């Protein structure tokens, strides 16, 4: 990409932060992020980027960014899930942390982006965090995961002890993830 860069003072075409396939000379008047006519927002003080104006960017997100956002989501979701499993009595707060923490961390990687793909990734990360928490709970209760398929009384007891009361707490971060990238 730098092969054609010139050392002259003239504006150099760069790729739009939100649409890497678009070459552009536009930059956000506030933060300097390269933007293009598709995502730039016209304001009285010049073109601004979606992140600065809080506008949603839609369209196909680069796979690399999507994967990075998903990875960041998991980085938050998995430890929070472990904590949740170890301290189920903190379920409500950990559910909020899983939702807001995980989803906002993802939003930082892809500022301004919304859409069904991101929603799916965010909800997926949250659900994995929940699964991790259930796995830890199962371990804490002494439930052998090999019993899952047999649905033994011990597993059933574990389910009723923890899973049912926690269902509402589980719906919470999923809803947060869903709404955030809608």
Of 4-12, 50-58, 64-72, 127-135, the segment contacting Zn ion by CB under 5 A is: 50-58
Under the binding rule (CB under 5 A), the answer on residue 113 touching Zn ion is no
Shortest distance in whole angstroms from residue 130 CB to Zn ion: 35
Query: Per CB under 5 A, does 19 bind Zn ion?
Result: yes
Residue 61 near Zn ion by CB under 5 A: no
Q: Using the rule CB under 5 A, which residue among 14, 26, 36, 155 binds Zn ion?
A: 36
C-beta of 115: minimal distance to Zn ion in Å?
14
CB of residue 51 to Zn ion, shortest distance in Å: 5
Among 5, 11, 25, 38, binds Zn ion (CB under 5 A): 38
Q: Quickly list DSSP for 2-68.
A: GGG---SSSPPPEE-SS-TT-EE--B-TTT--B--TTT-EEETTEEE-HHHHTPPB-SPPPHHHHHH
46-48/41-43 β-pairing: antiparallel
**Under rule CB under 5 A, residue 27 binds Zn ion:** no
Binding window for Zn ion (CB under 5 A); candidates: 5-13, 24-32, 95-103, 161-169? 24-32
Q: How far apart are CA 120 and CA 103, in angstroms?
A: 12
Q: How far apart are CA 46 and CA 30, in angstroms?
A: 9
Residue 58 or 154: the one with the smaller Cβ distance to Zn ion is 58
Sequence-distant contacts of 93-99: CB under 8 A, at least 24 apart:
94/133, 94/169, 95/169, 95/170, 95/172, 95/173, 96/172, 96/173, 96/176, 98/126, 98/129, 98/130, 98/173, 99/126, 99/172, 99/173, 99/174, 99/175, 99/176, 99/177
Which of 49, 72, 77, 98: binder of Zn ion (CB under 5 A)? 49
Residue 14 interacting with Zn ion (CB under 5 A): no
Among 14, 26, 27, 28, binds Zn ion (CB under 5 A): 28
- What residue ranges bind Zn ion (CB under 5 A)? 16, 18-19, 28, 30-31, 33, 36, 38-39, 49, 52
């Amino acid at each position: 990409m730098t092969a054609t860069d010139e050392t002259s003072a003239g504006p150099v075409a760069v790729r739009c932060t939100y649409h890497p396939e678009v070459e552009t000379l536009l930059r956000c008047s506030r933060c300097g992020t390269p933007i293009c006519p598709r995502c730039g927002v016209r304001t009285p003080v010049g073109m601004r980027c979606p992140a600065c104006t809080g506008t949603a960017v839609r369209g196909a997100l680069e796979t690399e960014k999507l994967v990075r956002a998903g990875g960041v989501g998991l980085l938050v979701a998995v430890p929070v899930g472990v904590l949740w499993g170890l301290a189920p009595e903190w379920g409500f707060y950990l559910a909020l942390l899983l939702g807001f923490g995980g989803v906002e961390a993802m939003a930082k990687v892809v500022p301004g982006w919304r859409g069904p793909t991101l929603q799916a990734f965010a909800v997926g990360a949250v659900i994995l965090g929940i699964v991790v928490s259930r796995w830890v709970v199962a371990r804490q209760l002494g439930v052998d995961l090999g019993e899952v398929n047999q649905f033994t009384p011990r597993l059933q007891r574990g389910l009723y002890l923890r899973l049912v009361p926690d269902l509402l707490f589980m719906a919470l971060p999923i809803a947060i993830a869903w709404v955030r990238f809608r």
